[in-house]
Chains A and B, each alone.
Chain A
Amino acid sequence: MADLFDLLIGKEGDKDYKKKSVIVQGITGKFGSFHTQQMLAYGTNIVAGVTPGKGGQKFEDVPIYENMKDAVGATGAKISIIFVPAKFFLSAAVEALESGIKLLIAIPEHVPIKDALTIVELSKKHDAIVVGPNTPGVIIPGIIKIGIMPASPFKPGRIAVLSRSGTLMYEVSNNLSLANFGQSICFGIGGDPINGAPLIQAFDTIRNGVNIDGVVVVGEIGGDAEEMLAQHIIDTKFDKPVVAYIAGRAAPKEKRMGHAGAIIYGTYGSAESKVSMYAKANVPVAKRPAEVPMLLAGKLEKGRNK
């Protein structure tokens, strides 16, 4: 498994250390252009954009290309972020992976499952990491922001946040920042039933980060990603503090709660099932977002007293 920090920051001494090149697919759309400005303002090194029919033009001084092959050929970028309507996601993602992109951030919501599964298969073939679809993206506070998250909730620090929900990632990170727990990385898994990088895989791409004191996992009802992660934490004897939050305890069964992936069938996907597996892995679950920093402080304290 590729190390995410290596892809996003690189190693000290690298020519592009902390300045990794990023391509924006769909750079001239309403959403894509706004977030390109926001990412540039944060300091993300956006080197190219792609919009078919607008090759040769520029946006905010960023050169635009007709297709991914040309954009990657001209820049050598390994990271791309996609802002296209769900209908066009499949072809944009295929183009990116086949052009040599190794980290693909897939923003669109409402991508069909069949298309997501196709991209999962293709990403395995090309040994690439796909984040999303339906993700707010990834941010290493103070260094690089590849996504649609606002900048203000995030502060540099040593806690990793993995989240299935966008706004809850902001809310929980903001609570952490206010309690002086900065973040080493915040990683939006995506709210769909099929994730390019599911919770376990996301966990594995960051677990060996030297700059991590603890991990916060923001989950929600639907699927069994939390249960699998809990088992994975037990199996791999991960010994740093992990704290979780799960949204949707009060949700009715068989109703899709905003996210395509947030749906309970029978007991499959229920909050109770997730909480009980987390208990086995010694992962406390916060009742509300504001409780996360308190539980984390408790776990870190215990770790120090060992």
Chain B
Amino acid sequence: MIRFLLNQELREEQSIDPNMTVLNYLRGYAAKTGTKEGCASGDCGACTVVIGELDGDEIRYRSINSCLTFISALDGKQLITVEDLKEGSKLHPAQQAMVDCHGSQCGFCTPGFVMSMFALGKNNSHPSHEDIHEALAGNLCRCTGYRPIIDATEQMYEDKTPDQFDRAKEQTVARLRALQQDAQPEITDGSKYAFNPRTVGELATLYKANPTAKLVAGGTDLALEVTQFHRDIEQLIYVGDIAEMKQIEVFEDRIELGAAASLTSCYNALTDEFPDFGALLHRFASLQIRNQGTLGGNIGNASPIGDSPPALIALNALVVLRDGDETRTFPLEDYFIDYKVTAQQPGEFIEKVIVPRAQAGEEFRSYKVSKRIDDDISAVLGCFNLRINDGRIEDARIAFGGMAAIPKRASHCEAILKGAAWNKETIERAKEALALDFTPLSDFRASKEYRSLAAANLLTRYFVELEATEVTTRVSDYV
């Protein structure tokens, strides 16, 4: 049985379809229709709700896409929807500001925006312009052109009085504590099951016994199987409640990232070490997705257009796979074998990712190329990690997404660079060598010719950025 707070109301669910999304639960089961379905694919943000989660004595609030979240993820948490914000007849500051600034026209995206704004208010007391953009980049509005919504987000901060969630904090913390279960909760509708293991050990045992079960962390990709491709998932194992797998540890020589750590958590750890990784994660889907999605999931779904693998490969990251009590560790680049085929064996799961710390002389850059700056899938993603000393390239690791059936290193290109002089001629030769590394495909995102040309041009950008540091080279830097 899962137990959670629907705002302040205790909900206990045992006999329920584990494939049900939080959105369908709200609109169908709970008859709370304030939360809207705009796409059921996590791309529009109309269904945004906020999850409150214990973090010591605090409650951490995160915006998520309710359309991509299976209900087992709610266990032990507080679910806050747009209906919960108003106190009696008084609108919440996030709501009042939207009214005052004319931020709501047709109103269908509005509940989602309000919830993203509410979450921002809970997480950031003095947001910059960039922070506001980041918080709202996963919400689409077709009516306003966004300006009044940004104004509303700024105005929301003028009301500094604690809201009912602040005032009820102690009580909510106590209630959430009481909900935490030691035993592994389980829900089923009789034919489909979902389990929430509490430890890696429990997970290993459970997965060994049920190797056909689907592991779900954020669910931001897996849920599409249900909402878009209409497949039933008979057995789900939710790994988002396993504290060990959400850990992020920084050692002297490496950073270890639990496979179930959210991309948002990884963002904070990786940005300090590799600013460009941060810039990439900033454009990785939307905040709602990053709040749910994980590095483990982004690797495990083995998409050729996942944004984190090329960066991790360029940084020489290792992946740790676990099977029962056994683990094995190997370079991430060897994990990807062919389109959607990986080195992972049945019963094995990704436990963690290990990223070596930045070395002196290494210059890591990642460049995402897409039709839209916010929340888009890369046409090409190029990640470059060169070690340059005394005008000579000592080492080069380059990986691309969107250029092959898997995230892949550019070995011919690297071979030209390694040991060569750091100059324009070398870069031109390296660009030509890319043709030997990749034969990309054409699709609705881009033609193969465009992918090839843009990929090569990214090397030019890398060169210019390192040579002429005063020059602005990225349109996304203009905010």
Query: Is chain B a partner of chain A in the same complex?
Result: no
Contact residues of A with B, CB < 8 Å? none
